[in-house]
A = this chain, B = another copy of it.
Amino acid sequence: MAKSDAPPPRRQSIGAKRNPETAEAIRAAALEILHSEGYAGFSVEKVAKRARAGKPTIYRWWPSRAALLLDVYHLQKSGIEYPVTDDIEDDLVMYLQSLFAHWLDGPSGDIFRSIMAEAQVESSAREVFLEYVSTRRERLAEMLAAPRSGKKLAIEATRIADLTISYAWMRLLTQTLDVPEKDIRLSVRCILAGAQTSI
């Protein structure tokens, strides 16, 4: 995760079209600020300064703060695994552990919280947030519904997915992501308890 902390060099126009280097520098600067100072310290002005870009250049391509936030967030929404083994409990625990680690490690947790906050202020942010949530939920439900030897879910996978996602969000929002595996497992067991039947 080597981040270049050096001040970026001055870039210039490459003609009557968008300079991808500039766009990249702006996204990177936004990301770094969100990571180091959080949503509270995020401002277009700081992004511009850190990226060595003019404010109008940012507003030319991202119509608002929220748009920039959403763009940066899209960059980051990768890397989470959806494991499928024979033990569904293990799978869920592993999923949550990697998710929490992902949120804790990099800026993605902060970004996700930022999006949630921004969604309260800007309605455009809300739409994208809801749409993203829905795809995540479906993906997780898929994982849960995957066939496993000798067992099957007694209730809908989406319900389990909802409860799992709810639990993860709560941990994120209450800043309690640093949970020992035992605790995660107990909560997962609780969610799954009534949902499994042996064949």
Contact = CB atoms under 8 A, between A and B. Distances in A.
B190 A159 contact: yes
Contacts of A165: 170
Contacts of A163: 163, 166-167, 187, 190-191
A174 B121 CA distance: 13
A14 interface: no
Nearest to A42: B121
Given A166-B166, A166-B167, A191-B190, A116 B160 contact: no
A122 B190 contact: no
Question: How many copies of the chain does the oligomer comprise?
Answer: 4
Contact of A162 (B133, B160, B167): B167
A194 B194 CA distance: 6
A130 B163 CA distance: 21
Contacts of A195: 190, 193
A90 B180 CA distance: 32
B194 A192 contact: yes
A195 B191 CA distance: 9
Contacts of A120: 38-40, 113-114, 116-117
A197 to B, nearest CB: 11
A170 B133 CA distance: 10
A122 B40 contact: yes
Interface string A125-137: 0100010010000
Interface of A: 38-40, 113-114, 116-123, 126, 130, 133, 155, 159-160, 162-163, 165-167, 169-170, 173-175, 186-187, 189-195
